Structure formats: C-alpha cells, structure tokens
C-alpha cells in the first residue's frame, strides 16, 4: 500500500520528460521547399554501340572445322570456322586452267596478227609500185583484219577467264568465317559436320571490344529536363553495392516508344519513353555485363 502513491508521480514525470525531449528534437519547419537531389531518374541497361554481333557463314556447305569456343577472346581476321574447301578449290583450279589456255591463245594470235599485218603492208607497197596485183593486196589486208579480230576476241576471253578466277577465289574465301573485330565469343551454335547456309542463322554471337554505354528509357515527363552533355550518375539496379559511376548524356532519341524495362505489363503498355544514350566519363574499373540493369540519376542544372 505504501508503494502505490510513489509510482504515480514517477510515471507522470517520465511522460513529461519524454514529451519535452520530443519537442526539443523536432526539426524546425523549413521556410522553402528542399532542392531535389536529381533532375530526373530513369531505368537503363548496359550495352555497346551496335549491340552484339551475330556471325553467319556467308556460304553454304558442310562445316569442316571450328576454331573458336565460348569465352575465347579473338582478334580481327582470326579464323572462327571453315567449310569443306574441296568444291571451291576444284572450281578455282578449273578457272585457272581456262585462264592459262586463254592467255596461251593470245600469244599465238599475236604472232599470227603481226605476220599478217606485215604481209599485207608489203603487198600493198608492191601493188602501188606496180610489182604486184591489187587483189592479192586486198586479200592480205582482209586476212590481217581477221587475225586482229581473233586476237581481240582472245584477249576478251582471257579477261573473262581472269574474272572467273577472281570469282572462284572469292567463293573460296566465303567458305571461311573470320572475326570482324577484336572481341569475345559469347555463344557458339555450330559443330563440325553440320550443314549450314546464310539462312541457317548465326554460328557465333560475339561481344566486340567496344566502350560500354547506357541505354536509358527516359519518361516523356522528363524529356524537356534532360539535354545532351548533362551529367548523370549510374547505379547498379540489382542492389549489389557497386559504387556509382559518372556519365553524361551522349544523345536523346527523337521517337517515343513503349518501355522495355518495366516489369509490370500494364505499366509497360501505358508508358511512353524516349531512348537516352549515355557514355561513361571514365572506363569502368569493374566489368559491366551487357544487359545489366542500372538506375540513371540525372544531375540538376
């Protein structure tokens, strides 16, 4: 019974102290609206200019060898895969034989045309001097013209044969697939022995050694706020704790389109956005994967 009168005043005192502390800790009301930390925020993804390269075999045939594998770093001009070369080699050998034959005929006809022209000139001089008949001179001149015509045709045939050789060599080159630039083989979809053609689809997917960019989807409400050259901060949208990366706006698209990064189908269908491409101020020290989602925060003006 003696304790009850003491508890009531202590309780009231504690309540009064808490109320006093909450009033002291309460922040003062601002006199003006706080300045926003960012002018706009947009979702984006890591990409490269032009995207991934899908490499197809430029000719049809049976794959004889595959010299590149997933994860390999290749250099420009390096052989990736090759078809059976035997049919193309046979066609090239045939074209070379025709070219040699045409060139050999040119040599023979040049001698014949030269001799016919010399004979025709001599008979013409003899006819003018009265030492020969005009008919023989005319016949010799006609024979010289025919020899020259045959030589012209032979030269045209040799030129055509040279074109066939060039075409056969080109077809031989088309049976080999080379890396168009330095990069990494991301995916390989072919095995030796497979029959392929340009319509079959890509044999390799390649990631070129090109600078990474950010493709952000800028909401239509922010189009008038963001401009080329504007500074921005790029954060990893997966929450991995990656340090923010500095970037700036490279260009802003001219066409509105539906969002491709929005997860909600209904929101995606009703959202209009413009593609905004950003480039990093410095090459990222941490490797960035193509397609990696990021959050772009555009700095205020």
Buried/exposed code over 282-292 (b: 16+ C-beta within 10 A; e: otherwise): eebeeebeeeb
**What is the pairing mode between strands 245-258 and 231-236?**
antiparallel
Please give the Cα distance from 144 to 136 (Å, whole number).
12
Please give the Cα distance from 218 to 262 (Å, whole number).
12
Asked whether the beta carbons of 70 and 186 are under 8 A apart, the reply is yes
Q: How confident is residue 267, by pLDDT bands cut at 50, 70 and 90?
A: low
Report the share of the chain in percent with pLDDT over 70: 85
DSSP class per residue in 52-106: -EEE--SS-EEEEEE---TT-EE-TT-EEEEE--HHHHHHHHHHHHHHHHHHHHH
Asked whether the beta carbons of 46 and 292 are under 8 A apart, the reply is yes
Please give the Cα distance from 239 to 296 (Å, whole number).
14
DSSP class per residue in 210-228: --EEEEEEEEGGGTTT--T
Count of CB atoms within 10 A of residue 278's CB?
26
Reported residue count of the chain is: 301
Note the pLDDT tens digit of each residue in 180-231. Answer: 999 999 999 999 999 999 998 999 999 999 999 999 999 888 888 999 999 9
Tell whether the model's pLDDT for residue 136 goes beyond 50: yes
Q: pTM value?
A: 0.69
Q: Measured between alpha carbons, how far is residue 260 from residues 117, 187, 207 in Å? A: 79, 24, 22
Please give the Cα distance from 173 to 142 (Å, whole number).
47
Tell whether the model's pLDDT for residue 30 goes beyond 60: no
Asked whether the beta carbons of 165 and 92 are under 8 A apart, the reply is yes
Which runs of consecutive H residues, i.e. helices, occur in 174-207? none
Exposed, middle or buried by CB within 10 Å (0-12, 13-18, 19+), for 215? buried
**What is the pairing mode between strands 204-208 and 183-188?**
antiparallel
Asked whether the beta carbons of 179 and 75 are under 8 A apart, the reply is yes
Q: How confident is residue 78, by pLDDT bands cut at 50, 70 and 90?
A: very high
Residue 35 has a pLDDT of 52
Note the pLDDT tens digit of each residue in 15-29. Answer: 343 344 444 444 444
Closest C-alpha to 262, from 213, 212, 218: 218
Q: How much is the CA Rg of the chain, to the nearest whole Å?
A: 41
Tell whether the model's pLDDT for residue 7 goes beyond 70: no
Q: How confident is residue 300, by pLDDT bands cut at 50, 70 and 90?
A: confident
């Amino acid at each position: 019974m003696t304790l009850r009168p003491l508890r009531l005043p202590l309780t009231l005192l504690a309540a009064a102290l808490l109320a006093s502390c909450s009033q002291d800790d309460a922040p003062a009301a601002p006199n003006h609206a706080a300045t926003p930390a960012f002018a706009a925020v947009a979702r984006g993804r890591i990409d490269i200019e032009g995207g991934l390269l899908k490499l197809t075999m430029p000719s049809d045939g049976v794959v004889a060898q595959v010299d590149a594998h997933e994860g390999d770093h290749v250099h420009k001009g390096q052989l990736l895969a090759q078809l059976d070369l035997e049919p193309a080699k046979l066609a090239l050998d045939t074209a070379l034989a025709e070219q040699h034959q045409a060139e050999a005929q040119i040599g023979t006809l040049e001698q014949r045309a030269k001799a016919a022209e010399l004979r025709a000139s001599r008979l013409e001089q003899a006819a003018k001097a009265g030492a020969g008949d005009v008919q023989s001179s005319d016949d010799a001149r006609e024979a010289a013209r025919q020899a020259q015509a045959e030589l012209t045709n032979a030269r045209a045939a040799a030129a055509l044969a040279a074109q066939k050789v060039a075409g056969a060599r080109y077809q031989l080159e088309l049976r080999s697939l080379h890396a168009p630039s330095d990069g990494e083989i991301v995916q390989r979809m072919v095995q030796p022995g497979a029959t392929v053609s340009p319509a079959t689809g890509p044999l390799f997917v390649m990631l070129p050694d090109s600078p990474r960019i950010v493709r952000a989807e800028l909401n239509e409400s922010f189009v008038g706020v963001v401009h080329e050259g504007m500074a921005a901060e790029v954060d990893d949208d997966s929450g991995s704790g990656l340090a923010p990366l500095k970037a700036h706006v490279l260009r802003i698209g001219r066409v509105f389109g539906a969002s491709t990064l929005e997860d909600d189908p209904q929101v995606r269908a009703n959202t209009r956005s413009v593609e905004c491409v950003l480039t990093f101020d410095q090459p990222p020290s941490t490797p960035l994967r193509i397609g990696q989602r990021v959050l772009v925060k555009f700095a205020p003006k």
